[in-house]
Structure formats: C-alpha cells, structure tokens
C-alpha cells in the first residue's frame, strides 16, 4: 500500500475527507483489496471509539496521579507526527491551487461541448468511435459501482481521445448530466459530460483527454460548469 492511500485512510477515519479525496480513495479501494481491507478496519475502529462511553476516573486515582507527577519537570509538547503534518500541508496546498483549477474548469467544459456523442444513424461518427475503440494501442478500463450498468472507458494515445461505451446507465432528469472526473494527486478535474439515451445506452467520443495515471470517477451534476464533484460518487475505475 502506498503512502497516499495510507494518508487518505487516516483522513477517512477522522471524517475529514473532501469529496475529491473520497472519490480518489474509492478508486484506490476498488483497485486494491489491501487498501479496501485497511480502510474497513480503520473505519470500524473509529466507529467503536466514537461509540464508547467515557468513564470518569475515581477521585482517589486522580489525586495519586497528581502526587506522583508533582516533581516531574515539565517540557514542551512534542511536535505532531510527520504523517499528520504532511496531511495538513497537503490540504493547504490544495486550497492554494483551487483558484487556478476553477479558472481552468470553464475551458474544460467548452472542450466537453465539442464531443462526438453517438445516438445511432451516423456512419461517420461511428467510424470516429471505432478509431479509438479498435486502435492497436487502446487501453480499456471498466467502471464499478453503478448498480446494474455496464460502462467502460477506452483510451487511445495515438488518437488522443477516449470513448465511453455502455448500457443500463440510469436516466437523469433534464437538469442533470453525468460528469467524468480525472483524479490526480487529490485534485479532481472535470473531463467530460454525457447522458445516456432513452434505453440507457452510452456511446461517446471525447478528444484531447488523457486518463493515464488518474483515478476515474462519475457523478451526477447540474447541467452547466462544475468545478468539484458532488457526492455520492456513482462509479469509479
């Protein structure tokens, strides 16, 4: 298990995960059984500690302890463990980086608006989809967590594009859309927006997106520019 996963598990046990960190941790747990097992154990321990009933120490015990330490020289508290400091420093760095991320998000949404979304009956669009899905260097990743839906992402470096392909994807109301997020170093970037057809099918190509080395997540969001994922995280890959 890497240090990043351990840090996220600590934050999860403390109840301090942001939506982006929850999305990243869900992806790591889905990909690594060791991470999933450690996360479950830490959350169980945290729940037991939270439910424990505090017991007041007897007055006689308190008096004996105070007497025993009366002659002990007082020293300054030790510094916080390095792991805790690193988590806080990382959270501060993420806050400082938030403003440029928000500025870039609008540009990302404009790129998403130029995606080729297939609903059938367009041979040229079908060819564009197949160029990615059938490319020799295509890499496929399957999403998990979305009920009975089957959804995959295929990325082709030579085409510099991804395709989303699947069925059984739940429909959304007219004011919502699905958003694909790329998670790197604890930061979530909206990469694509898509909606299933009336039968729950999805076939869409998005150019200029490289999902390599990123955790993938899907959320349902209001239509329009979005900058951070809204829980719950519906699927990860």
15-47 pLDDT per residue, tens? 777 877 888 888 888 888 887 878 787 777 766
Give residue 192's domain range.
99-236
Task: Specify if 11 maps to a domain.
Answer: no
Q: For 24-59, b where at least 16 C-beta lie within 10 A, e where not — what string? A: bbbbbbbeeeebeebbeebeeeeeeeeeeeeeeeee
174 in any annotated domain: yes
Domain total in the chain: 1
Question: First CA to last CA across the chain, in angstroms?
Answer: 18
What tokens were used for 122? Answer: 């367009």
Distance, in Å, from the CA atom of 189 to the CA atom of 23, rounded to the nearest integer, reads: 12
The reply to whether 153 falls in a domain is: yes
In a domain, 192, yes or no: yes
For the stretch 91-126, what's the b/e string if a residue is b when 16 or more beta carbons lie within 10 angstroms of its beta carbon? eeebeeeeeebeeebeebbeebeebbbbeeeeeebe
If you search the block for the tokens 């979304």, which residue do you land on? Answer: 117
Residue 84 lies in a domain: no
At residue 79 the predicted structure's pLDDT band, cuts being 50, 70 and 90, is very low
Contact between 93 and 85 under an 8 Å Cβ cutoff? The reply is no
Q: Is residue 94 part of a domain?
A: no
Domain annotation covers residue 88: no
- CA-to-CA dists, residue 135 to 45, 127, 229, angstroms: 47, 12, 31
Under the banding of pLDDT at 50, 70 and 90, the label for residue 97 is: very low
Greatest CA separation for the chain: 87
Q: Does residue 34 form part of some domain?
A: no
The average pLDDT across 5-17 equals 78
């Amino acid at each position: 298990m890497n240090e990043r996963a351990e840090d996220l598990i600590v934050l999860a046990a403390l109840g301090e995960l942001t939506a982006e960190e929850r999305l990243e941790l869900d992806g790591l747990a889905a990909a690594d059984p060791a991470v999933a097992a450690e996360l479950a154990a830490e959350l169980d321990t945290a729940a037991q500690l939270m439910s424990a009933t505090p017991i007041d120490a007897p007055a006689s015990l308190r008096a004996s302890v105070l007497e025993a330490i009366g002659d002990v020289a007082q020293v300054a508290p030790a510094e916080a463990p390095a792991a805790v400091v690193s988590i806080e420093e990382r959270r501060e760095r993420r806050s400082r980086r938030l403003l440029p991320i928000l500025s870039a998000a609008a540009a990302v949404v404009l790129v998403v608006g130029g995606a080729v979304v297939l609903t059938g009956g367009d041979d040229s669009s079908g060819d564009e989809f197949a160029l990615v899905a059938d490319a020799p260097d295509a890499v496929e990743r399957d999403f998990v967590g979305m009920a009975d839906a089957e959804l995959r992402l295929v990325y082709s470096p030579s085409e510099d594009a991804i395709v989303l392909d699947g069925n059984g994807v739940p429909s959304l109301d007219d004011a919502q859309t699905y958003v694909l997020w790329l998670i790197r170093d604890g930061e979530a970037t909206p990469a694509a927006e898509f909606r299933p057809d009336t039968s729950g099918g999805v076939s869409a190509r998005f150019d200029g997106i490289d999902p390599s080395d990123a955790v993938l997540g899907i959320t349902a969001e209001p239509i329009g520019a979005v900058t951070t994922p809204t829980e719950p995280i519906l699927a990860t890959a």
